[in-house]
Amino acid sequence: MTEIWILVAANPAIDNLVSRGRELGGQLVAVVAGDRSCAEAIAASGVDRVVWLGEPGATPVEARAAAVADLVAEAAPRVVLAASHPAERVLAGALAGRLGAPALTMVSSVRLEADAVIVTHATFGGVAEETVRVEGPVVIVDECGSVGTGLPVPIEEVTATAPPTLTVVETRMSSTTRVDLGKARRVVAVGRGLARREDLALVEELARALDAEVACSRPLAEGLGWLSRDRYIGVTGQHVHPDLYVAVGISGQLQHVVGCRDAGTVVVVNCDAKAPYFGECDYGIVGDLAQVVPALTAALA
């Protein structure tokens, strides 16, 4: 019988992976690198088997990637699924390397043929889709799901092959707060049009007036470091779908726009009337953000 393996680092929200595995048929085996409570949640989430590496103790779950890869590689499954959480992606990458298999993301469909796996997935950040034929094992990194329910199955504890060489020696609260922009109903995003870091206050005031989260284009987070990396939108950043997306001083390059294509109403503020974003928005304001943004904030107040 075909085995579909599911990689779990520490996040038990795998109902979409279980559904995907059920569509493919065969037995669903989850391997869990996280703690017992995670393994118990997985055991009651609709899978057929749970293989657990035992308590991670002071070892971060990502550091068990080699052990997970060894275990799954031994079973030689054709399809392996993982949710798109940071730690799960580490496990998926390690396993793909171990198997010499492709790791595919943003997948919309998977089909088993006698001698191949047919996968359709998005490319260019969702602008296009391609269908590929994989004649060997494939690792699929899928959307994050919710915690599912099912008849509990026993947890099979195994001993990790290679003990990790890494332990946590100190844990401190991060000085930056993490945001979940995916849940935001309103977002005000700012780009390189912002001349000085101090001017971020203008954008933050507008966001406050709109009860919105602040986001940005990649250069502000990765190059300038004016906002944290979890706030940049785009193909390599966050994907958001708010009711309202206000883009201030952002040119509208494809790599940015694909991250907010599902937004409801899009408002663009840019001093260049030829900025590409004006071709993608519902409302466009041509003007200097230093004047337009405070005026919008005042009007909202």
Ligand X SMILES: Cc1cc2nc3c(=O)[nH]c(=O)nc-3n(C[C@H](O)[C@H](O)[C@H](O)COP(=O)(O)OP(=O)(O)OC[C@H]3O[C@@H](n4cnc5c(N)ncnc54)[C@H](O)[C@@H]3O)c2cc1C
Question: Tokens for 228?
Answer: 């944290």
12 vs 259 by CB, closer to ligand X: 259
Among 10, 116, 132, 235, binds ligand X (CB under 6 A): 235
From the list 31-39, 51-59, 74-82, 244-252, the region that binds ligand X by CB under 6 A is 244-252
Contact 242, 263 (CB under 8 A): yes
Q: Does 228 bind ligand X (CB under 6 A)?
A: no
Among 41, 256, 268, 284, binds ligand X (CB under 6 A): 256
Q: Restricting to residues 280-299, name those near ligand X by CB under 6 A.
A: 288-290
Among 77, 148, 191, 242, binds ligand X (CB under 6 A): 191
* DSSP symbols for 58-109: TS-GGGGHHHHHHHHHHH--SEEEEESSHHHHHHHHHHHHHHT--EEESEEE
Q: Does 27 bind ligand X (CB under 6 A)?
A: no
With H, G, I as helix, E, B as strand and everything else as coil, classify residue 224.
Answer: coil
Q: How far is the CB of 217 from ligand X (least distance, A)?
A: 3
77 vs 249 by CB, closer to ligand X: 249
With H, G, I as helix, E, B as strand and everything else as coil, classify residue 20.
Answer: helix
Cα separation of 239 and 228, whole Å? Answer: 15
* DSSP symbols for 229-262: GGGBBSTTSB----SEEEEES----HHHHTTSTT
Among 27, 105, 120, 236, binds ligand X (CB under 6 A): 236
Q: Restricting to residues 95-134, name those near ligand X by CB under 6 A.
A: none
Cα separation of 16 and 208, whole Å? Answer: 35
Among 250, 263, 268, 281, binds ligand X (CB under 6 A): 250
Contact 63, 91 (CB under 8 A): no
166 vs 195 by CB, closer to ligand X: 195
Among 12, 77, 137, 234, binds ligand X (CB under 6 A): 234
Q: Does 255 bind ligand X (CB under 6 A)?
A: yes
Q: Does 60 bind ligand X (CB under 6 A)?
A: no
117 vs 266 by CB, closer to ligand X: 266
- As a residue count, the chain comes to 301
Cα separation of 45 and 111, whole Å? Answer: 23
Among 92, 251, 266, 281, binds ligand X (CB under 6 A): 251
**Residue count, binding to ligand X (CB under 6 A):** 27
From the list 9-17, 64-72, 84-92, 231-239, the region that binds ligand X by CB under 6 A is 231-239
Residue 7 bridge partners (DSSP): 31, 82
239: left (phi over 0), alpha (psi -120 to 50) or beta: beta
Phi first, then psi: what are they for 13, rounded to 5°?
-80, 85
Q: Does 270 bind ligand X (CB under 6 A)?
A: yes
Side chain identity at 260, as an amino acid letter?
C
Which residues have C-beta within 8 Å of that of residue 75, sequence separation ≥ 6?
Answer: 3, 5, 29
Q: Does 137 bind ligand X (CB under 6 A)?
A: no
Site residues for ligand X per CB under 6 A: 191-193, 217-219, 232-237, 249-251, 253, 255-256, 259, 269-272, 275, 288-290
